[in-house]
Structure 1
Amino acid sequence: MQRVGLSSKIWFWFKATRFPFFQAAYIPVLIGASIAWSVSGLFDPFLFALTLIGGILLQAAVNMFNDYFDYLSGADQMVEHRNPFAGGGRVLVMERGITPKKHLAVSFSYLVLGSVIGFYLILLRGFIILVLGIIGVFSIYFYTAPPLQLSYKGFGELLVGLNFGPLMVIGSYYVQTQELSLQQPLTASIPIGILIAMILWINEFPDFHTDKAIGKHHLVVRLGYRWAIRVYIASVVTAYIIIGYGIACGILPFPVLLSLATIPLCLKAVTILLKSHQDPMGLIPGNALTVITHLVTGLLIVAGYIISVTLI
């Protein structure tokens, strides 16, 4: 029996976290911290690092829990396409040396480590972080875990948008300022929450028939192709409208206008979705563009806040 080296094991467990999608955690943390710096002039690098690491650990946990419970449901084994953005991580299908029990144990270790950081932040910053943390941990575990299996019942997209949008931005902002001022954090976070939810949304199209067969009735399955496409389009349009509204009303600083530069990327993703929504391989560029749209929009929002402080 061939022994697996330590470096290979470390790489596997890192890969199992689906680290390319960690932007879901670090983008809202960056936005919250940049708003805090812009509004109050406060920025604590230590608290920022704790918030960032904690958020990434919790995202790693939800990704691995998702793979574990999807494996138990049989969903991953039924996936035939090779769209890298859909079908889950499939690590339990593709890596024979990894048992579900080990996978679950590592998933819990990420959850515990993230929670420990969260408890430390609660000691430093108080009750609000506790409330946000409870919502986050509940959502992480029961996203795919029975008995709730929230993503199977059409709540997954909402939870992803809420947790990796408003809750994480507001949490990051509060850690820096200890102020629960919602106007700027909420206005900036809703578009980024919508865009991260749309990553999940478009990634559900390739698994439409598989998910329907195993009873994973997320919103794309519940709505069907036609209405799911319409909701995707309406959602991304709404995200950009909110940014424009926030700037026009003086809620967001003018340099945040930079984030509208991603509109052409988003339009291209819409075009691909309209054409290839039933073609898992043909949809890959649309999946990728949705990921890039979220990433670049978030970074440009952060850049807008930095510019507003340093150059204006």
Structure 2
Amino acid sequence: MNTEALLLTTRSARPPFLILTLSCISLGVAIALSTPGVDVHLVDVFLILLAGIASHISVNAFNEYFDFRSGLDELTERTPFSGGSGLLPTHPDLDNNVLLMAIVSLAACIGIGLYFTAIHGMVPLVIGAVGVLLIITYTHLITRSPFSSLLAPGIAFGPLMIIGSVYVLSGSISTTAIIASLIPFFLVNNLLLLNQYPDVEADIQVGRKNYPIMIGRSKSSLIYAAFTLLAFAIIPLGIATGHFPLLSLLALIPLVPALISVRDSFRHADDIPQLAQAMGLNVVVNLVTPALLAAALVI
């Protein structure tokens, strides 16, 4: 693989979206740092970040490869937030390179998981096994079930990523970690839910089944609104129960753009060009909210 092909292939990892992994893992690291008596090792933090990014790259690259092979890419109207990178429709000769990147990234993730299993026992193995299962089944199986396609993204970036990080760094699963993991659980589910709106017609043609397809975009916005409210309700709940500091109220700042996004998801559910603002705000909320909570926990 020459340098140009390598650089082009990395587009299928969707690099701008990998920031989400950094934001979610930062929350897990912050919880460990704020736990009394826990000595956080930088090498472990680095390996957790590497495993998280590798897993994200893997699922993105598998998705790009199989969407191209199924013909979905030729049917999809790409937006800045959905429809993939657009690499393979313009460079079909790179399909095997993209598949190789997906496999190598998954192997790296598994390798790090086995390393942590050797040190910390079965908990990292169980969490990692669920994560790997989500990666390899996402495009072919998960996207064909409305319920699983709604919840799988949040499970990966919420409980698996955050609770797994906290356990590796602290040796235990705290109530704080469980409560905090529910915030990206709801937010990331919403991220993928709203991003399904532009692809409804194309997804139907390849056999996908999600809530925008099954119940329509407008009714799916009810789920989007409910998940938004649940995500932000967890912050005052964490404060009230003593698991989050009062400064965690800072993490409510993104509630304003989140509510604007909810409003627009109803107003423009079937007008995809007008929905772009809601999709953009949705991305911002997903990136900023866990980062603000992480900052509040370590200050």
| TM-score, length-scaled by structure 1 | 0.91
Q: Cα distance, 1:212 vs. partner? A: 1.7
Match of 1:110 among 94, 105, 112: 105
Amino acid at match of 2:102: S
Aligned residue number for residue 229 of structure 1: 221
- Alignment partner of 1:34: what SS? helix
**Distance (Å, rounded) in 1 between the aligned partners of 2:261 and 2:93:** 37
| TM-score, length-scaled by structure 2 | 0.95
Match of 2:151 among 158, 178, 181: 158
Say whether residues 1:209 and 2:201 are aligned partners. Answer: yes
Contact 2:159 2:181 in 1 (8 A): yes
**Distance (Å, rounded) in 2 between the aligned partners of 1:10 and 1:53:** 19
Amino acid at match of 1:250: G
Q: Cα distance, 1:241 vs. partner? A: 0.9
- Alignment partner of 2:168: what SS? helix
Q: Cα distance, 1:286 vs. partner? A: 1.1
Aligned residue number for residue 51 of structure 1: 48
Match of 1:257 among 243, 249, 255: 249
Q: Cα distance, 1:5 vs. partner? A: 5.7
Contact 1:71 1:90 in 2 (8 A): no
**Distance (Å, rounded) in 2 between the aligned partners of 1:5 and 1:126:** 41
Q: Cα distance, 1:26 vs. partner? A: 1.9
Contact 2:23 2:291 in 1 (8 A): yes
Give the paired residue count. Answer: 297
**Distance (Å, rounded) in 1 between the aligned partners of 2:257 and 2:287:** 11
Contact 2:154 2:188 in 1 (8 A): yes
Post-superposition Cα deviations, 1:166-205, rounded to whole Å, max 9, x if no partner, equal 1110110011111122x10011110111111111111000
Aligned residue number for residue 142 of structure 1: 137
Match of 2:72 among 72, 75, 99: 75
Amino acid at match of 2:116: L
Amino acid at match of 1:17: A
Amino acid at match of 2:85: G
Aligned residue number for residue 95 of structure 1: 91
- Alignment partner of 1:207: what SS? helix
Aligned residue number for residue 310 of structure 1: none
**Distance (Å, rounded) in 1 between the aligned partners of 2:82 and 2:271:** 12
Say whether residues 1:193 and 2:185 are aligned partners. Answer: yes
Contact 1:24 1:196 in 2 (8 A): no
Amino acid at match of 2:280: A
Identity %: 30
Contact 1:58 1:110 in 2 (8 A): yes
Q: Cα distance, 1:24 vs. partner? A: 3.1
Aligned residue number for residue 304 of structure 1: 296
Structure 1 unpaired stretches of 5+: 308-312
Contact 2:221 2:266 in 1 (8 A): yes
Say whether residues 1:17 and 2:9 are aligned partners. Answer: no
Say whether residues 1:269 and 2:269 are aligned partners. Answer: no
Post-superposition Cα deviations, 1:281-305, rounded to whole Å, max 9, x if no partner, equal 2222211110100111011011110
Post-superposition Cα deviations, 1:86-139, rounded to whole Å, max 9, x if no partner, equal 1223321122431x3332122111111111111112122221000001000011
Amino acid at match of 2:9: W
**Distance (Å, rounded) in 1 between the aligned partners of 2:2 and 2:156:** 36
Say whether residues 1:29 and 2:25 are aligned partners. Answer: yes
**Distance (Å, rounded) in 1 between the aligned partners of 2:153 and 2:80:** 19
Bigger shift: residues 128-137 or 249-258: 249-258
**Distance (Å, rounded) in 1 between the aligned partners of 2:289 and 2:251:** 5
Amino acid at match of 2:45: F
Q: CA 1:90–1:152 in 2, change beyond 3 Å: closer, same or farther?
A: farther
Post-superposition Cα deviations, 1:238-263, rounded to whole Å, max 9, x if no partner, equal 11111111112212221111100111
Q: Cα distance, 1:54 vs. partner? A: 0.6
Q: CA RMSD in A?
A: 1.5
